[in-house]
Chains A and B, each alone.
Chain A
């Protein structure tokens, strides 16, 4: 999908040279369509051998039994050894203890910030604890005028409250993903902090669609910090004026008492169960996982490699903006491995907005969120209980 689809054929050429008997056909689909198209392909019995899946989709496709388990293959592999991948990222591909995808590139969140504004507030580096972070933002705010804010976190994004909840130790869902844990103390702690950012005037109460141009706001100093992903490195470099290029930097996220966790995102390569060329497909997956191939991929797309080995290369090691990502990748956590996660994530920010805008108390908000989530997970509970009874019957 996306740029990756355009570029992968260049990588494939190398593979075909090494394996003259194998021909690889590449189909490109835009991100927006891929999810639906792959699902449709599955139902229509027309799946490819391998597909690149957004790693939050892996649980969904595993749930419908579309993917081939990869643990055995990975254990024997020289080129795709589990140990060299960022554990948090690898785990996003593990459902019920079984691995269904090999990480291809990674994605996580860091803070993009105006280093000059942070320095003017007396901080040479981004703080690493919530308390210090808050203090720094208050300091920055004191030097700002009325419609300027230290931090931009759009109210219609689910990642910030989820990240803060994870940092506070919340599992988000409990009982093997059957019930919501949003009303429990850990998530509540993170959520209280999240809401306070808005209520203390540190972040504007704006939805994603209301911010027409984040780069302009950043340039004019209307925003000092913004949480986002690796592709923004390129955007900020291209869209900010030259005069500003030495005045912004990235930093990993602060946590409660020290550097905090972020979400393990990215894409994986998965093998479809119905493939009739599994051995060859696996060889391709291994090839694409080689450190040098991963690096080439990075130079072509700007996507960050999933293998730690690749990061040792100078191109990446010297990219000063990528350093924060490298650091953050050691502390990434996956989202719950349930197919319903996308809808649950939407509910998180929908309810979250009510609390942020002061329309409901935090307590009521989280209670209603849990209610909604429990409703969404009802089918999952039913199917799991069916599996249990079937297993019981089978073991008699």
Chain B
């Protein structure tokens, strides 16, 4: 065997590639900062995917979204929050740890404008996280819109976190988290002044296309 042939054997011959052996690219994750949730999801929220966060009123949905936003901004990410109900309290969000200077707060005048805003933000690229806070209303919209948003999120590598009272994106969501079993914690009693300490909520991974669904964990939320 000539030296050239030996070298070719060592380095690989042109076109000598066995099809079907390519490894899929590992999915990059955006850590939530909550170790239990990160463990359950396999490292955090998948980047470039739609993640749903569904829960009724006072189930800690906004608190969890704020925790994810806080961890992302503290890690240097630029994020956006589409606030359909104009419900964000800057003081509360700041107290939750969100770096306000890295948070773009968009307050559209309704759900259709919110979806357009999400499309614009995902198209811009560079945002690590876009939270689409649909509030308590959250009427269903066509699958074509979710398909478009999912594609835009994939192109930009942005996590689109949809927080609503019920799941919206259907099959276009890579991960669906449902918040249920809420219990408020109070301290004090008849003789003392009562104080709201926080909420305990069970998070169920109802859908997970890139991991194991059906897992659950309890999230403790404390008042600031």
Partners in one complex: no
Residues of B within 8 A of A (CB): none
